[in-house]
Structure 1
Amino acid sequence: MGFDASWLLLGLPLAFVFGWLASRLDQRQWRDDGRRAPKAYFKGLNYLLNEQQDQAIDAFIEAVQSDPDTTELHFALGNLFRRRGEYNRAVRVHEHLLSRDDLSRTDRERAQHGLALDYLKAGLLDRAEDALRRLEGTPLETQARLALLTIYERSHDWTQATAIAERMQQSQQGDFSTRHAHYLCEQAQTQATQGDFEAARGLLIQAIAIAPGAARARLELARLQLHQGEPAAALATLQDIAGTAAAALPLAAGLFVESANACGQQESTRALLQEHYQRTPSLDLLDAIIALLPGNGTRDDGATQHWYAGYLDKEASLVVAAKWLSHETLTHEERHPAIQRALDQAAKPLTRYRCAACGFEALQHFWQCPGCQSWDSYPPRRVEEL
């Protein structure tokens, strides 16, 4: 039986028609999918801009299901889950991205960084540390090291924090000299608590060399010198603060009084404090000056009242008014204690320190805020003076 060429002539057009129809169907399906994915994406973006995170997540999940290979939507989902505190879901999204073989190097590094942040927010510090260390030598190295600093600060691992700060300083990833000095001061406090005062002194001297303009290391060194019976050396260290970090003098006021009394240099120390007080009045400096007056500011001392009155002439201070009243003899003496208690109670909140970053208030000055963990966010002045 011979081959009939007419079938070939008939089959070729039919094959062409069927192929054309199939391609049109594929194109229509592709267009429909393309329309659905951007629509879901923009819907999610609109929800996100209106701070409707639940609806945004649902829309992004719909978009990801339409196109599972869309990495940007995965990143958006992971970030949304983390912001909502759904850390397990955020981890799964970033682990899914890392498991893909077709992921680019840049996206893989982004996914690794996102996974580290998930662990960090969830409080899984050991996993976060491991994930962040894998970003060494990548464009995200700076962000990873900053996150590592956060981990070491939260765990009070000051040795590791110091090492990271040194590396970032050497790599010119920012100026970390002041923070480095804080880490050394933290280590010095630990050494002093353990009784190793020489090691503590060495760390503080190193901190002064690293950040000469920072006040903390000199304050800690003066406190250590005073504790070891070296009031003259402590006073000299405190006097250096007047030249390098004069704004921090209110924090040193109490140490000035203690050191000056211990080595008999009340008059010269009072003159130094008065010089700075004239330029920048301060409640703590005022108390130190009065404490160094002859007679130590007793109740009947007119000089004490003079200083309090002088401050009140310049500033309407409830704190100073309460102190002035404590040295004043009233006509109705029997009412004095009640009035004094009322004023002291009203003035007490005004003697606190307030974090400039988050507003956290405390009775004592902190170098690192217990609330927001910011360094040097507490001004050296009381709430009433701000």
Structure 2
Amino acid sequence: MEFDLTWLLLGLPLAFILGWLASRFDLRQLRAENRSAPKAYFKGLNYLLNEQQDQAIDAFIEAVQNDPDTSELHFALGNLFRRRGEYDRAVRVHEHLLSRGDLSRSDRERAQHALALDFLKAGLLDRAEDALQRLEGTPFEAQARLALLAIYERSRDWAQASAIAEKMHAADQGDYSGRQAHYLCEQAQALLSQGQHDAASRLLDAAIEAAPQAARPRIDRARLYQMQGQPAQTLQALEDLCEHAPNALPLATGLLLDAARQTGRTDTARQWLEAHYERTASLDVLDALVQLDTMETDTGPGRERYVTHLSRERSLVAATRWLAGERLEREALHPPVQQALEHASKPLTRYRCAACGFEARQHFWQCPGCQSWDSYPARRVEEL
């Protein structure tokens, strides 16, 4: 049977036409899909720029439905949910990303970090801690450690905070020696409340070694000696304080006076206080000097120091304290006048956080307002 070339000549053009039509149909469909996804995506961006978050979320949901495999759209949607406070929806988006088997390693680490932020914002600290620990050895390690440090400080888990601070210090992520000293001091305080003086002493030694210029470990060390009835060692610890952190002496004037009385070394205490007052006219140091003078009659200017201080600093606090011991011509008017002055000067005796401005009647090593460490100067509000 002979093969008819006519069918071949007719079939080739027909096959070409059918192939061309099929390719045009697929290309048109692909272009339509590519146009639909970016359109929703750019619509969402436009809403974001106009701070219309509800409409932006709707647009991104539409974009994700059109292209469910695009991880960037999921990240954008999850971040939007977190910003709006819809943490459960943000968690679902990021957990869905982590469940995908085709996700790249970098995107998986990014999704893990985003999930940890969701838990942090939601206040789920235990789940946030677990999510952050999974970021060790990733590009998000430094951020994760900072967040873990904040969690441990918030939960007062000082041992864990100390371990994280040590890692960050060793990795050159900053100087955390000061914080490390605070964490060790906090642990020492807990041990002291349980009567474990020897263990607390070892922690204070470690704190001094970690941050030799830090004031708190040396003051806490002096308090420990005072608790143990060792005034000579208390005075020695305060001498070390004057040498390594002299600006903090106003915080320890009470300890200094007690130890000086018990050891009979009031002249030594006076010498340290006078030297500090010459450098910085501190109200606490001034009060301590007045107390020393009143303890030893006719050995010093006594309350006249307050008047002398006024020539150096215009202090309402010093003027009020001087007036409290004076006899006025119209003595019957003295009590209400004194009460008014004390009321007016009381806010001036507070301490103020240099980071957030939070004021308190007592000195804090960590600000109760902004949680900053060492943000309270050893000076009263009037002296700032």
TM surpasses 0.5? yes
1:366 alignment partner in structure 2: 364
Count of paired positions: 381
Cα distance in 1 for residues equivalent to 2:300 and 2:275:
21
- After superposition, the Cα gap between the structure-2 partners of 1:64 and 1:350, relative to the gap in structure 1 and judged at 3 Å, is farther
Q: Look up the match of 1:375.
A: 373
Q: Secondary structure at the match of 2:302?
A: helix
Question: Against the structure 1 CA distance between its residues 66 and 339, is the aligned structure 2 distance closer, same or farther, given a 3 Å change threshold?
Answer: farther
Corresponding position: 1:326 with 2:329: no
Name the aligned partner's letter for residue 242 of structure 1: C
- Bigger mean CA offset, 170-179 vs 326-335: 170-179
Tell me the equivalent position of 1:131: 131
- C-alpha change, 1:251 and 1:63, in structure 2 (3 Å) is farther
1:28-57 CA distance string (max 9 Å, x none): 414522541452243144135xxx544544
Q: Is the 8 A contact 1:297 1:303 kept in 2?
A: no
1:277-288 alignment, distance < 5 Å: 277-288=277-288
Residue 276 of structure 1 is matched in structure 2 by 276
List aligned pairs for 1:71-220, cutoff 5 A: 71-220=71-220
Unaligned runs of 5+ in 1: none
CA distance, structure 2, for counterparts of residue 302 and residue 214 of structure 1: 33
Q: Do 1:290 and 1:297's aligned partners in 2 also have CA atoms closer than 8 Å?
A: no
CA contact (8 A) 1:179 1:375 kept: yes
Q: 1:267 touches 1:292 (CA, 8 Å); kept in 2? A: no
Structure 1 counterpart of 2:111, one-letter code? A
Equivalent residue for 2:382, pick from 376, 381, 384: 384
Equivalent residues of 1:351, 1:363 under 8 A apart: yes
TM-fit CA distance, 1:19: 2.6
**1:266 corresponds to:** 266
Secondary structure at the aligned position of 1:281 is classed as coil
Unmatched 5+ stretches in structure 2: none
Give CA deviations for 1:309-351 in whole Å, capped at 9, x if unaligned. Answer: 1222222222222212112222211111111111111221221
Separation in structure 2 between the aligned mates of residue 82 and residue 289 of structure 1, nearest angstrom: 57
**2:35 alignment partner AA:** D
Provide the rounded CA distance (Å) in 2 between the counterparts of 1:320 and 1:74.
64
Alpha-carbon distance, 1:355 to partner: 1.8
Matched AA of 2:266:
Q
Alignment TM-score, normalising by the size of structure 2 = 0.91
**How many percent of aligned residue pairs carry the same amino acid?**
59
SS at match of 1:93: helix
The 1:23–1:288 alpha-carbon spacing in structure 2 relative to 1, beyond 3 Å, is same
Equivalent residue runs for 1:24-39 within 5 Å: 24-33=27-36, 35-39=38-42
Q: Deviations over 1:356-377 (max 9, x none)?
A: 2222222111111222222112
Partner of 1:352: 350
Any idea what the Cα deviations from partners look like across 1:108-161, whole Å, max 9, x if unmatched? 111111211221222222211211111112222222222221222122211222
Bigger shift: residues 361-370 or 213-222: 361-370
Question: Aligned pair 1:18/2:21, yes or no?
Answer: yes
Distance change in 2, residues 1:114/1:14 (3 Å): same
Kindly report structure 1 stretches of 4+ aligned residues shifted beyond 6 Å: none
What's the counterpart of residue 335 of structure 1? Answer: 333
Which residue identity is paired with 2:28? L
1:107 deviates by 1.6
